[in-house]
Amino acid sequence: MEQQPIQAPLMDTHCHIYWEGLIERIDEVVAHARAAHVERMVVPGINAETSREAQKLAGRFNQVYFAAGLHPSEVKSRDPIDPESFLTPFAGDPRFVAVGEIGLDFRHRRSGRIDSDLETAQMEAFRLQVEWAAAYDIPVIIHNRDAGSEILSILQEIPHARGVFHCFDGSKRTLRFATERDFFVSYAGNLTYPRAQNLRATLRLAPMDKIVVETDAPWLTPQPRRGSTNEPAYLVETVAQMALALEKSPEIVRIKLLTNSLRLFGIDRS
């Protein structure tokens, strides 16, 4: 029998495996990932509760690391965040690799609605968490929904900030910022969708040392798996599409993605 070549391992830089639909079968999800050569994954929280859930998973599975943060959808107008009390308890855990998922979500603008109080609260929460992360030299995982200009404006004011733009939307301005600063852009399963030609075009413009990959499980299931709940094992579908778009060997792409991911989160290769 012909021996199959060993594939370079992958790292899912963003997956919410504590979510309903995955956590109930978590041992199976992790086993599927391992079988697909997805040997590491970062699980970000969106609030205190899910950040602790992510931490528990990192303590249970060797291939899991975690991030803690307050997602913009969890920000309340009159409930300011205190990063010291929220984030510092996680800082001593060796599996804690990033502050996230944090950012801005102004999707309400699509309906013509402006909520100045909420937007101000989101921007303050984002700024405070980025400042805390920069002070401790920890990367941030950034969520951006219809708020690219505001996010870049805040990051410009914090010169030592570093991290990744999660589920990158293909913005050339954001890509330029990431190229000039210590930031990466992360591509998700939507890269595989038939109408994602512009996103794939942006991938071809991105420097190879600035890209990483994620599932954002349980969402954004890659095209070949549409209709099922996304999970880290399906990362291979997005990586295959990346190799096609870049016109590069899948193995070369896999090796570069892992190298970039480890560098982003400061994880040792061993």
Going residue by residue through the chain, which has 270 residues, state the pLDDT in tens, using 9 for 90 and above. 444 566 899 999 999 999 999 999 999 999 999 999 999 999 999 999 999 999 999 999 999 999 999 999 999 866 778 999 999 999 999 999 999 999 999 987 777 676 788 899 999 999 999 999 999 999 999 999 999 999 999 999 999 999 999 999 999 999 999 999 999 999 999 999 999 999 999 999 999 999 999 999 999 999 999 999 999 999 999 999 999 999 999 999 999 999 999 999 999 987
Distances (CA, A) of 27 to 23, 38, 199, 226: 8, 14, 33, 22
Reading phi first (left if > 0) and then psi (alpha if -120 to 50, else beta), residue 230 is in beta
Q: Which three-class secondary structure state does DSSP give residue 97?
A: strand
Tokens 């920000």 correspond to what residue? 75
What token pair was written down for 49?
């509760």
Distances (CA, A) of 62 to 55, 208, 212, 252: 12, 28, 21, 25
Q: What integer pLDDT is reported at residue 185 of this predicted model?
A: 99
d(CA 185, CA 168): 6
Q: Are 70 and 129 a contacting pair, CB within 8 Å?
A: yes
Which domains does the chain show, CATH number per domain?
A: 10-265 (3.20.20.140)
List all residues 6 or more positions away from 82 whose beta carbon is below 8 Å from its beta carbon.
none
Q: Are 191 and 241 a contacting pair, CB within 8 Å?
A: yes
What is the DSSP secondary-structure string of 152-165? HHHHHT-TT--EEE
d(CA 70, CA 8): 33
Q: What integer pLDDT is reported at residue 27 of this predicted model?
A: 99
Select from 253, 213, 255 the least CA-distant residue to 234.
213
Query: Cα–chain-centroid distance for residue 228?
Result: 20
d(CA 193, CA 177): 26
What token pair was written down for 36?
């697909």
d(CA 93, CA 116): 37
Q: What integer pLDDT is reported at residue 78 of this predicted model?
A: 65
